[in-house]
Amino acid sequence: MKAGWPRKVLLTGGAPGGGVDSYAQTLACGFRMLGIEAEVIAPRRIFGRLKELRDPCVLKFLSTTAAFAVPFARRAFVIAHGFPCVRNQGWLRTIAILISYKLANFVQGSQLVVVSGYSALHLESIFNIRVDGVIRNPLHPIFTETRNTAERRALTFVGRLHRSKKVDKLLPAMQNVLERYSELEAWVIGDGPQRGELKEIYGENSRIKFWGALSRDEVREKLGESRVFISGNPTEPFGIVFLEALSQGCAVVMPASGGGLEIAPDEIGNSIQLFAVSLNQGEIDAAIERALSVEPTEVDLSDYAATEVAKKYLQIDGRFNTRGVYRAAPQVAEVRP
């Protein structure tokens, strides 16, 4: 282990199977591959780890719900996986999130790190939150393994079935495409409050399949059988599943907005096809059609490897002194993979 590296990394996750938990588990894997002990715990357990919170030899990664432990912490990153949205989260939760980010700004034992430049822009320009670093999310090592060679036969959505994901806007366009391509199916992978409603509307179509929540291995397998991955959230903070889809050779169809645009900008117009944020059905349909007409290229995602992203965090971790105290930098230090 290199001098100055933490003895241990402690990360708080999120709901099992969710994006925050996937991020924490993948990043922990990256640190372990570098020879650093890493543990992921539920946010509610963080106050039971006061000794480690105060230990400057332990680097902490606090998700939003764990960020209220910041006043007790030394050498901690508060991770902003996006920016608060009143429409999706309500006023109370929005205010709580902003308070947690402000705590990260005021406490000398912490830094606020954001997962995309898109999210950082909103936090800085709208909410006047100081961002100490931008480090994009890691890709789990399983997605760097040899792809399966199954026949590609699906248009696929993977994610939480929540109104913010706009699956109700995607499915009509996907259904239109199925009418023109008899060999294709539409797959919806994930669970959430809209599942029952969507299944009631589209479940009678035998070519539209609702798979529910799947394991990481199963998602990888389904993406390997998909021609196109489709996202509808115009305010997606980053989109780990975009990385996963590209890694499995899918073309990606997404709104012309959000942090996902930062992943592989050179692929826009080829492996990545965009549609307007108005989510007009005809424009979504046309973007899917374009995606079906191109041969996705091999996209170099090596910068998103778990170990590479862990190294980026270790790079800015060097701002903490031996007591685990960080003095604010005069400007944003953006660390790009």
* Sequence ranges of the domains in the chain: 8-138+305-317, 142-293
For residue 159, what is the DSSP state? S
By the 8 A CB rule, do 174 and 155 touch?
yes
Are 8-138+305-317 and 142-293 in the same CATH fold? yes
* Predicted pLDDT of residue 91: 85
- In angstroms, the CA 64 to CA 62 distance is 7
Helix or strand holding residue 180 (H, E): helix 167-180
* Superfamily of chain region 8-138+305-317: Glycogen Phosphorylase B; (3.40.50.2000)
End-to-end C-alpha distance for the chain, whole angstroms:
22
Superfamily designation of domain 142-293: Glycogen Phosphorylase B; (3.40.50.2000)
**How high is the pLDDT of residue 336?**
46
What value, to the nearest 5°, has the Cα angle with vertex 243 and ends 237 and 249?
145
What is the reported pLDDT for 172? Answer: 96
b/e map 191-215, b = 16+ CB within 10 Å: bbebbeebeeebeeeebbbbeebbe
Kindly give the confidence (pLDDT) of every residue in the chain, 337 residues in length, as a single tens digit, with 9 standing for 90 and above: 687 899 999 999 877 667 788 899 999 999 999 999 999 999 999 999 999 999 999 999 999 889 999 999 999 999 998 887 777 778 888 888 898 999 999 998 899 999 999 999 999 999 999 999 999 999 999 998 867 667 899 999 999 898 889 999 999 999 999 999 999 999 999 999 999 999 999 988 999 999 999 999 999 999 999 999 999 999 999 888 999 999 999 999 999 999 999 999 999 999 999 999 999 999 999 999 999 999 878 889 999 999 999 999 999 999 998 888 887 654 444 554 4
**pLDDT at residue number 333:** 47
Euclidean distance between CA atoms 52 and 68, whole angstroms: 15
Listed as own residue / partner, the contacts of 279-287 with beta carbons closer than 8 Å and 24 or more positions apart are 279/166, 279/169, 279/232, 279/234, 279/255, 281/169, 281/172, 281/173, 281/176, 282/173, 284/169, 284/170, 284/173, 284/230, 284/232, 284/253, 285/173, 285/176, 285/177, 287/253
> Who contacts 42 (Cβ-Cβ below 8 Å, separation ≥6)?
12, 13
Radius of gyration of the chain (CA): 20
The whole-number pLDDT of residue 295 equals 85
